[in-house]
Structure 1
């Protein structure tokens, strides 16, 4: 076994909420070793970005520990550097200056700092852009600056938080390929990579090991070794089979793992059956029930397609039929599940009785059914209930952004708000005034009291 660079033991992370502590991560055990790429895979709200920030020492665990080369962290991790989804460049600095920022913060003198930055710029394919400002660069070039800025400090572990998700498909494919070529070449100035992604194919393309986090449990759900040679062939039977196994784990039911992980490459065994009796539905919270990035038109379209196929379809087959990636369908599947219109069963999605009524209803009835379902979703319910209690039935959007900020990053808060506005408007539960960033209760929703 190679050296352990990062060691996580019993890590739990909770954030303060209106009803007490809300857990985001629960009992995480993880080791990152020299020479491997580890992918943290999970849906939105699974806690993977929070875990990455704990590895970086940017936020402390509530319980448990994170250690770098055997030393438990009490602050920022000296052996890591991070690449962000949103590039996070300083717009007033040139490419050269942005890459030098980390070295300057470490007190390196000007001449060696410039030389090291130039070497990193050349390594990542940015030579010729040294004097350019971020506004002059494409998205792919901006992310190259992010990579160079992280690599120039020669971290033991490079942490990447969905670094390709803000790029177009072709740019992301090219940048992934170049990064893997550097990794395989031996010129890569880092010993391990931890990649956060929600994209199953990306995880299988890049990682030696894939760790799946549960969507709502905040715990590790399964772990897979990736025994495929690089460069990886998407058409290879093993590639497609592994994607299918991971997909079934991410969308299946009753396969969460508590305690020690199963052996690498094996799916977890089903848990011991609970005593007979009515099962209580898990309590939904703002932190544990993120809105999936699905439009009303998109989820309604999927529901209609399901109804045309007797209410059930295999998602992988549907993706092939529609010439989509499985990951493109997952948010729509999650939305139907969250609203109670669909149920995920292994690799398939089936309409519930409520989903069949919704799919077959006319426009006005479908809006009524959607409103009833959406009011069981925490964020939509919080907005509607708060507006009903407000004296003038209006509230600034900042109030809800502040509630979400306890549990999500700023980018995630924006995404959650946009989805909630879309769903609430369609359901006629509330209106939103973008000019004044203000919500107003819908005319047919009674005021509180």
Structure 2
């Protein structure tokens, strides 16, 4: 976002599903531009706000698009998510951070901080709204728990809010062998997304599932199981 404001005289923001121009910003700042200029920072804030704007009249944590089995999951480490929750919960943020300020302090690009925020929102640990990232009560609770209790809460939210993980857990519970090939779920994912997105989604599923000790995954045989999930 900062690079766009630094270089461009016109910035378009696109929506997804369907892709269309959602907003246009004219950049009238003179060249060369200064990232520390208050007008520059204000425009960056406006862009973050537009990119995280919720549909009008949408309930606070409902209606998140693409949250079925066919939802694409960007590969984000559970350790990184835990660290971000801790950072948000601590001063100076105290549960509420301006996205560009947070991205700058963590030395993250705009797309990186948005992916992290979207993952926390999906899991109901935080909410993206008008360019801010705000911890929910669950997020605040997570920040104050010990490791085992964090895993338990993370597990509950995975099963409740990430349908494909709930599906894998049900399949493993129901099969006498308590095993299932990854191909069984990859094929289903590819009905909704590209092969590349399916691979990224599976990587995230494996990472989050292992952290939560929901299931194990054997890389060589590409098989999920309930054997020694930790």
TM-score, scaled to structure 2: 0.82
Q: Distance between the aligned counterparts of 1:252 and 1:392, measured in 2? A: 46
Give the equivalent residue in structure 2 for 1:245: 46
Give the equivalent residue in structure 2 for 1:332: 116
Task: Decide which structure has the larger Cα Rg and report it.
Answer: 1
- CA drift of 1:317 comes to 1.5
Give the equivalent residue in structure 2 for 1:282: 63
Give the equivalent residue in structure 2 for 1:416: 201
Q: Distance between the aligned counterparts of 1:301 and 1:234, measured in 2? A: 31
Give the equivalent residue in structure 2 for 1:212: 14
Change over 3 Å in CA distance of 1:219–1:306 after alignment to 2: same
Change over 3 Å in CA distance of 1:442–1:252 after alignment to 2: farther
- Counterpart of 2:176 (choices 391, 395, 415) is 391
Q: Deviations over 1:395-444 (max 9, x none)?
A: 11111111111222222111111111000011111100001011113668
Report if the CA contact (8 A) 1:429-1:442 is conserved.
no
Give the equivalent residue in structure 2 for 1:303: 85
Report if the CA contact (8 A) 2:85-2:139 is conserved.
yes
**Aligned-residue CA RMSD in angstroms?**
3.0
More helix by share: 2
Change over 3 Å in CA distance of 1:348–1:435 after alignment to 2: same
Report if the CA contact (8 A) 1:292-1:334 is conserved.
no
Segment of structure 1 superposing worse, 351-360 or 365-374:
351-360
Give the equivalent residue in structure 1 for 2:185: 400
Give the equivalent residue in structure 2 for 1:165: none
Instruction: Structure 2 unaligned segments of length 5 or more: list them.
Output: none
Q: Distance between the aligned counterparts of 1:333 and 1:317, measured in 2? A: 14
Instruction: Structure 1 unaligned segments of length 5 or more: list them.
Output: 1-199, 255-270, 445-449
TM-score, scaled to structure 1: 0.44
Q: Deviations over 1:190-221 (max 9, x none)?
A: xxxxxxxxxx346554684514214xx54647
Q: Distance between the aligned counterparts of 1:347 and 1:280, measured in 2? A: 16
Change over 3 Å in CA distance of 1:345–1:286 after alignment to 2: same
Q: Distance between the aligned counterparts of 2:114 and 2:187, measured in 1? A: 28
Q: Distance between the aligned counterparts of 1:242 and 1:442, measured in 2? A: 52
